[in-house]
Amino acid sequence: MTLYVKKFGGSSVATPEKMKFIAQRVIRDKKENDKIVIVVSAMGDSTDNLLSLAKSAYSVSHGREMDMLLSTGEQVSISLLAMTFKSLGVEAISLTGEQAGISCTGTHGKALIKEINPSRIFQELELGKIVIVAGFQGIMDNGDIATLGRGGSDATAVALAGAMKADICEIFTDVNGVYSADPRWCPKAIKMEEITNIEMLEMARLGAGVMQPRSVEIGLHYHIPIHVRSTFSDEKGTIIQENCTMEGNHYVIKGVAQDTHAVRISVLNVKNVPGVAHKLFQTLANDHIDVDMIVQSVQTSDDSLTDMVFTISDTDLSDARQTLSKLQEDGLIDKVIYDENMAKVSIVGAGMLGTPGIAARMFGALSKAQVNILIVSTSEISVSCLINRDKVEAAVQAIHEEFFEETQLHM
């Protein structure tokens, strides 16, 4: 008996025809004693459409009602997929996050999974059914529906696999696995056979869209191997796990990632005294705004004032505007400048530890492509540059070319 959790993303369930295709594939691959739990996202662009419906009618930020609205997307797909299995003569049942025993904590729009009680799922599996669970949603202590942040169905799938001690979590998507860069931009991108979850976590955090970062973290925690593969082909994809005997191991860099949702916020002329940064960032944290890169500028002419520059995701922008205007009213900060069209390009690879010159090669590639670097940040296994969003495609291509397309020259 193998217990599978299979997650299908929005593009895999975009139409009734695609749902039928998936159902047929699951039925074809299922061995007699296998137990199958399927997690699905909302159909196609429906989450985006729901979001813009809300935004066109009201200028709301995320909250209880937004979660009530967004969670409906997944309910459409679970019910339709269950009907599809039934029409093919296979017993299936759809469950909402709550029915699947998923409880959440934290804040609306980016709730965290607190606990999963999969007893109902096990009961239904025992009855021989395929269980189809709504991704991206769970239930708060007070009974309200919460969503897990964009791409949150991945977290649902990996967390369910962890809670149920599944043998493997398969993430079915519209690409064949994890590539060295987005293949739509870099046709020569290389598919990784395996990648460590630490590297994958860094890639995902830095914007490699293939998996939601939180889900990779959950996989790391529960030691669940994850297989990222294509919905539309039988080809083996990429295995994400703790240790790899990696085919791609000879690459110092495993991938180039981009985040096209960055917003730069410059808080100008703040008092250069202890406690100001604390107060500013604590207030942002209290309002659940994730801050990414932070730079405090060096001032030479007037040491009593300084600028704080930081980046956030554009999904937090309207909340950040509110928070910062409160601080302006309170007199803690003065002028604030918002630059909305930013992007962050990053390189990731454990191999850069102890290999000098990696950042220099990245900066060289960017300069060759005439891309200006606005902020740089690093971790042990990554280097990131903030740039203008209109240059992001050229930047990714140039960096990919430097590290992957001329490997022979540089090894």
Choosing from 12, 94, 153, 313, the residue that interacts with ligand ASP (CB under 6 A) is 153
Interface with ligand ASP, residue 213, by CB under 6 A: no
Residues 2-31 that bind Mg ion (CB under 5 A): 9
Q: What are residue 267's DSSP bridge partners? A: 308, 336
Both tokens of 112, joined, read 């965290």
Interface with ligand ASP, residue 135, by CB under 6 A: yes
Stated as kind and residue range, the H or E segment containing 346 is: strand 335-348
x/- letters, 64..103, toward ligand ASP (CB under 6 A)? ---------x------------------------------
Interface with ligand ASP, residue 47, by CB under 6 A: yes
Interface with ligand ASP, residue 41, by CB under 6 A: yes
**From Mg ion, ligand ASP, none, interface partner of 315 (C-beta below 5 to 8 A by class):** none
Interface with Mg ion, residue 177, by CB under 5 A: no
- Dihedral sign computed on CA atoms, order 50, 55, 57, 60: positive
- For 268, phi then psi, to 5°, come to -95, 150
- For 221, phi then psi, to 5°, come to -65, -40
Pairing of β 3-8 and β 35-40 = parallel
Interface with ligand ASP, residue 150, by CB under 6 A: yes
Pairing of β 112-116 and β 382-388 = unpaired
x/- letters, 103..142, toward Mg ion (CB under 5 A)? ----------------------------------------
With CB under 5 A as the rule, give the number of residues binding Mg ion: 2
Q: How far is the CB of 7 from ligand ASP (least distance, A)?
A: 8
312 DSSP assignment: E
Choosing from 6, 10, 161, 218, the residue that interacts with ligand ASP (CB under 6 A) is 10
**Which span sits near Mg ion by CB under 5 A: 80-88, 137-145, 146-154, 306-314?**
146-154
User: Angle at which helices 358-368 and 392-400 pack, to 10 degrees?
Assistant: 130
Q: How far is the CB of 135 from ligand ASP (least distance, A)?
A: 5
Stated as kind and residue range, the H or E segment containing 203 is: helix 197-205
Q: How far is the CB of 197 from ligand ASP (least distance, A)?
A: 19
Structural contact between residues 151 and 141, judged by C-beta atoms closer than 8 angstroms = no
**Which span sits near ligand ASP by CB under 6 A: 20-28, 56-64, 148-156, 267-275?**
148-156
Q: How far is CA 179 from CA 248, 340, 347, 352, in A?
A: 11, 28, 13, 18
Structural contact between residues 135 and 193, judged by C-beta atoms closer than 8 angstroms = no
Angle 154-156-158 from CA coordinates, rounded to 5°: 70
Q: Strands of 251-373 (E only): list them.
A: 255-271, 294-296, 305-313, 335-348
Interface with ligand ASP, residue 44, by CB under 6 A: no
Q: How far is the CB of 209 from Mg ion (least distance, A)?
A: 7
Q: Tell me whether residue 41 or residue 196 sits nearer to ligand ASP (CB atom).
A: 41
Q: Helix (H, G, I), strand (E, B), or coil: what is residue 30? A: coil
Choosing from 151, 152, 207, 219, the residue that interacts with Mg ion (CB under 5 A) is 151
Q: How far is CA 135 from CA 6, 29, 122, 125, 306, in A?
A: 11, 22, 17, 18, 44
Both tokens of 242, joined, read 């703790």
Interface with ligand ASP, residue 248, by CB under 6 A: no
**From ligand ASP, Mg ion, none, interface partner of 4 (C-beta below 5 to 8 A by class):** none
Q: Helix (H, G, I), strand (E, B), or coil: what is residue 274? A: coil
Choosing from 97, 151, 177, 255, the residue that interacts with ligand ASP (CB under 6 A) is 151
**Which span sits near ligand ASP by CB under 6 A: 138-146, 150-158, 161-169, 228-236?**
150-158
Which residues of this protein are in contact with ligand ASP, per CB under 6 A?
Answer: 9-10, 41-42, 47, 73, 135-136, 150-154
